[in-house]
Structure 1
Amino acid sequence: MKKVELDANTDFDVMRKSTPARLGVGRAGSRYTTAAMLSLRADHARAVDAVMTEVARDWPRRNGLLEVHSQALTREDYLRYPERGRRLTDADAKRFTHLKPRGKSATPTVLICVGDGLSSAAIERNAAPLLRALTKMLASRYRLLKPIFIRNARVRIEDHLGEILRPDIVCMIVGERPGLVTAESLSAYVIYRPTLKSIEPDRTVISSIHRGGIPIVDAARKVAALIDDAIRFKSSGAALAEKTSPPA
């Protein structure tokens, strides 16, 4: 193995500038500096707020989304009982029976939905532009169902939506669990013909969608290409990865 000579000061500065991680923040005795501690606490507070704060009540309407609810009726309920975030309320499930596409169509159907998940900040900052970009890319070749917003949603609620509406694809844009680097990161989960029998390996996810991660336009291209592949190969998740991976 070739030995690499390091200039400790120069290389450390290069590394520190290449990552949002807290490197070389300094110390006062055995503790962080006051500035580093205040920065850490501020980032932690933003992460907590993103989880506990609800998406603004008028956000779905302003962005042309039909709002429905999971069985978790409050944020506390949502956090304490994850399974309640995986099903629609009975009333909203009945509403969806009227939205189910009528008649057979040769054009594949795609449902794009937005779930608040674990970050209201991510939804309010990034979900609308991602939704618009995706809609523009997909509208010419697929039958897009009316997009919806699910309050207090877990990812697996897309299985319940698939059970009711029977689209070919469900793509769920959801707020990721925030960290100390950002509270504004989205994920997009794509699943082919989901039902209540679907399992986690059936899903494919593109994550870290935010200004410091995958930019909105690039993320939309990746998600659209993923949807194309899922429809072409009639699969998603592990099954799609197996079909599209190059031969060994």
Structure 2
Amino acid sequence: MEEKEQLKLLKSFTPARIGEGRTGTRPLTESMLRLRRDHAAAVDAVHGHVDNDFLMKLGLFTVETLSKSREVYLQRPDLGRRISPEGAKMIQERCMHKPQIQIVLSNGLSADAIMANGNDVLPALLDSLAVHDLQSGTPFFVKNGRVACMDHIGELLEPEALVLLIGERPGLASPGSMSAYMCYKPREGMIESDRNVISNIHQKGTPPLEAAAHIGAVLKCMIEQQLSGIHLQV
């Protein structure tokens, strides 16, 4: 196989920028324009917002973290790990206490991830839980949440297991990628090795419907084994 054919085959397997070519010391104009376009999409994903109408159609109410603005959220990751006092009160008033499975969505670092995948993942996840005979609590949306906000929510609702569907840090090839973080009996002070994650949930990565089915299976294992993280056998 000639080098050009080998390069073409390799590029068909990845969106990574390989074999882009150069003109002297500079990238090709086409390559540079694509890079600027993809960088702009990543910035838009970070600073974007999830439409209220979209959340209402999914039947989700919204709470905020201690990050009162997007700027504060990006500068102070610690504030995105705790729900605001107003949000905590709303969660306790509107959510089922001690559910078997608690589902939470958050824009995280990519609002595009929720807008692009939430409409597929959430209904399919509820179906997957039903297939595995698991009961879901009251899903809701956390604005400006970090992964560890699931620990604070665990303190508030005491679920057996919690899954957080959150926007990932956008890359130059996937600004709308979602992750699903899962934990058995989340509580404040939990370490990262106690969590399980399914990442790269988007149309060109792990398809949303496939991801939802897999999330349900992982949560079933957590309930049966009463643990999560590196010791979970899936």
Shorter-chain TM-score: what band?
Answer: over 0.9
The aligned runs of 1:14-33 (5 Å cut-off) are 14-33=9-28
The aligned runs of 1:201-216 (5 Å cut-off) are 201-216=193-208
Provide the alpha-carbon RMSD of the alignment: 1.6
Q: Using structure 1 for the length normalisation, give the TM-score.
A: 0.89
Instruction: Report the 3-state secondary structure (helix = DSSP H, G, I; strand = E; otherwise coil) of the residue aligned with 2:182.
Output: strand
The percent of aligned pairs where both chains have the same amino acid is: 39
* Structure 1 equivalent of residue 135 of structure 2: 143
Residue-pair matches, total = 233
Q: Aligned match of 2:187 in 176, 181, 195?
A: 195
Instruction: Report the 3-state secondary structure (helix = DSSP H, G, I; strand = E; otherwise coil) of the residue aligned with 1:206.
Output: strand
Alpha-carbon deviation of 1:56?
1.9
Which of these two proteins has the greater Rg computed from alpha carbons?
A: 1
Alpha-carbon deviation of 1:26?
2.2
- Establish whether residue 94 from structure 1 lines up as the match of residue 89 from structure 2: yes
- Establish whether residue 109 from structure 1 lines up as the match of residue 100 from structure 2: yes
Q: What are the superposed Cα offsets for residues 56-102 of structure 1, whole Å, 9 maximum, x if unpaired? A: 23322121101111110110010000011001101111222334546
- Establish whether residue 238 from structure 1 lines up as the match of residue 230 from structure 2: yes
- AA paired with 2:37? A
Instruction: Report the 3-state secondary structure (helix = DSSP H, G, I; strand = E; otherwise coil) of the residue aligned with 2:231.
Output: helix
Structure 2 stretches of 5 or more lacking a match? none
- Establish whether residue 127 from structure 1 lines up as the match of residue 127 from structure 2: no
Alpha-carbon deviation of 1:142?
2.0
Query: Distance in 1 between the 2:96 and 2:118 partners?
Result: 25
Query: Distance in 1 between the 2:179 and 2:6 partners?
Result: 33
- Asked whether the 8 Å contact 1:100–1:164 carries over to 2, the reply is no
Structure 1 stretches of 5 or more lacking a match? 1-5
Q: Aligned match of 1:72 in 45, 67, 73?
A: 67
Deviates more, 1:92-101 or 1:54-63: 92-101
- Asked whether the 8 Å contact 1:117–1:174 carries over to 2, the reply is yes
Q: Aligned match of 1:63 in 41, 58, 61?
A: 58
Query: Distance in 2 between the 1:99 and 1:193 partners?
Result: 20
* Structure 2 equivalent of residue 3 of structure 1: none
Q: What are the superposed Cα offsets for residues 90-134 of structure 1, whole Å, 9 maximum, x if unpaired? A: 1111222334546x8xxx611111010000111101122101100
- Asked whether the 8 Å contact 1:118–1:177 carries over to 2, the reply is yes
Query: Distance in 2 between the 1:186 and 1:129 partners?
Result: 12
Q: What are the superposed Cα offsets for residues 124-148 of structure 1, whole Å, 9 maximum, x if unpaired? A: 0112210110011113512211100
Q: Using structure 2 for the length normalisation, give the TM-score.
A: 0.94
